[in-house]
A and B are shown apart, each in its own frame.
Chain A
Amino acid sequence: MAAKSNLKNMALSLTLVCLVCSAILGCVYAVTSGPIQEAEAAKTAASIARVLPPFQGVPEQEVVNVDGADYKYFRMPGAGTAVISTVGGFGGPLTLMVGFGEDGLVVNTVVLSHSETPGLGAKCQTEASFIDQFKGWDPAAKKLAVRKDGGEVDAITASTITSRAYSAAVANAYQVYLKLSENE
């Protein structure tokens, strides 16, 4: 039989349920926060290893402000710099990590997160012919824009907006790289 719905009972039952639930969540959070951080750190480390030449040591995250926006980057002396750059894509924010070698050329790029259309824009993660064209790209000599916009990037078929965003993200990362080189 359900308890009577008077103010005391209602307040009491809601308070009790909330207290118990918060306690459970607190415990689960305490147990999982370590593994969650490890998983995130492992993902970042794996991305850095993909966009930079082999390096020694543990990358430390640093932040630089370029044109009013904060960019995270990882500086690995002797190997290069990995810059995280976010732009608006077709379906939402598109976040890339771009690695620059000590010579200022793009080593590789990798998508950290995206909300592009499956089967179309989402190919920016898998389409080798698109991703590989950025390897060894010299941003000082070749314009980072799709051919439609007068640049030299070959867009993914039927995904010009995503390709444009991808190029813009790499171009932004290059601005960050230039700023970092100036500071040194």
Chain B
Amino acid sequence: MSKFGLIAKGILKENPTFVLVLGMCPTLATTTSAMNGLEMGLATMFVLILSNIVISLIAPVVPDKVHIPVYIVVIATFVTVLQLLMQAFVPEVYETLGLFIPLIVVNCIVLGRAEAFANKNSVGDSALDGIGIGIGFTLSLTVIGIVREILGSGSVFGWKFIAGDGILAFVMAPGAFIVLGYLMVLFNKLARR
């Protein structure tokens, strides 16, 4: 597969949110606004790329029976690094995403890519796979966030263009499911062409 293809498949054919349907917990919980979705996507992408690189490096020497605990320790390390960095340099972002940053450890996408791709491919390809899936996840979360923010608060990226409150349900959990469902239908209809 070409280098470009490796990145593109993460965005379209293997889009983590709309096709693989992985990592739904942060997807539903953090997309209350476009900015939150974007930030969550970028945070996950950071962990995904680094864990893919390291796991593809160490996979050949890790005994099979302990590979899951080893991968989890690697992933948890990068998540904690990210958590400390965010706390130190972007405390506002850290406060909005709060609990969902440590939860990246158990995000199925990260362990899923380690298991399905990084442990049998080269370092370069694994990094590209991390970038592709990361971009796919970030774009999906941002789009869900944009739709929910427009319907729920009448604004995009905090820029308000409709006065008033919007449809509150879209900011809360039910709106997350509704928007995700319709976007999934739309995405799969367009992608199947």
Binds B, one of A27-35, A51-59, A139-147, A176-184: A27-35
Within 8 A of B (CB), among A118-143: 118-120
Task: Please name the residue on chain B nearest to A119 by beta carbon.
Answer: B171
Task: Tell me, rounded to whole Å, the shortest Cβ–Cβ distance linking A34 to chain B.
Answer: 8
How far is it, in angstroms, between the C-alpha of A32 and the C-alpha of B86 when the chains are bound? 9
Evaluate whether A118 and B172 lie within 8 angstroms (CB atoms) in the complex, with A14-B66, A21-B74 already known.
Answer: yes
Q: Which residues of B contact A3 (CB under 8 A)?
A: 61-63
Binds A, one of B20-28, B37-45, B77-85, B133-141: B77-85
How far is it, in angstroms, between the C-alpha of A32 and the C-alpha of B81 when the chains are bound? 9
Task: Tell me, rounded to whole Å, the shortest Cβ–Cβ distance linking B149 to chain A.
Answer: 11
How far is it, in angstroms, between the C-alpha of A13 and the C-alpha of B66 when the chains are bound? 8
Q: B168–A14 contact, CB under 8 A?
A: no
Task: Tell me, rounded to whole Å, the shortest Cβ–Cβ distance linking B94 to chain A.
Answer: 9
Contact with A along B141-170 (1 / 0, CB 8 A): 000000000001100000000000110100
Q: Which residues of A contact B61 (CB under 8 A)?
A: 2-3, 13
Q: Which of A6, A119, A120 contacts B153 (CB 8 A)?
A: A119
Q: B85–A32 contact, CB under 8 A?
A: yes
Evaluate whether A2 and B85 lie within 8 angstroms (CB atoms) in the complex, with A117-B172, A118-B171, A119-B152 already known.
Answer: no
How far is it, in angstroms, between the C-alpha of A4 and the C-alpha of B63 when the chains are bound? 6
Q: A21–B73 contact, CB under 8 A?
A: yes
B32 interface residue (CB < 8 Å to A):
yes
Evaluate whether A36 and B84 lie within 8 angstroms (CB atoms) in the complex, with A18-B73, A119-B152, A119-B165 already known.
Answer: yes
Chain B: residues with CB nearer than 8 A to chain A? 32, 58-67, 69-70, 73-74, 76-77, 80-81, 84-85, 87-89, 91, 95, 152-153, 165-166, 168, 171-172
Residue contacts A-B, CB under 8 angstroms, 5 given? A5-B63, A14-B70, A34-B88, A119-B168, A119-B171
